Amino acid sequence: MDDDRVWSFEKSLWTGGSDHYRELVDDECLMALPHPPYVFGGAQAIEAVSDTPRWSEVVIDDGRIARPQEGLIVIAYSVTAKRGEET
C-alpha cells in the first residue's frame, strides 16, 4: 500500500461510520486512543469508536509511516478534526 493510500484509508476511519470500521479494521489492529486503556485491539477499537459522531474535516500533520516487515504498516500522526463547531 503506497503512502497516499495509507493516509486516505486513515482519514476514512475518522469520517466513516461504524459499518466502515467493522469492514476495514482488522482484528489484529492496534489503535492508540486518548482515553484508558489507551491501546485497543481491533474489536475493542471498533467498539470504542463505533458510536461516536464522525468528523467532517480531518487534517493529518506530522505523519510518519514505517514498514518494519512485509505486511506490517505502522503509522503515527497528529490530527485536527472538526464536526460542526467542535474541533
* Type of residue at 45: A
Residue pair 62/78 in contact (Cβ under 8 Å)? The answer is yes
Q: What is the pLDDT of residues 20-77, one digit of tens each?
A: 888 988 888 888 888 889 999 888 888 888 778 889 999 999 999 999 999 899 999 9
Question: What cell was used for 61?
Answer: 500533520
Of 15, 16, 25, the residue nearest 81 (C-alpha)? 15
Supply the pTM of this predicted model: 0.83
Four-residue CA torsion sign, 57, 86, 65, 22: negative
Biggest CA-to-CA distance, the chain: 41
Residue pair 6/24 in contact (Cβ under 8 Å)? The answer is no
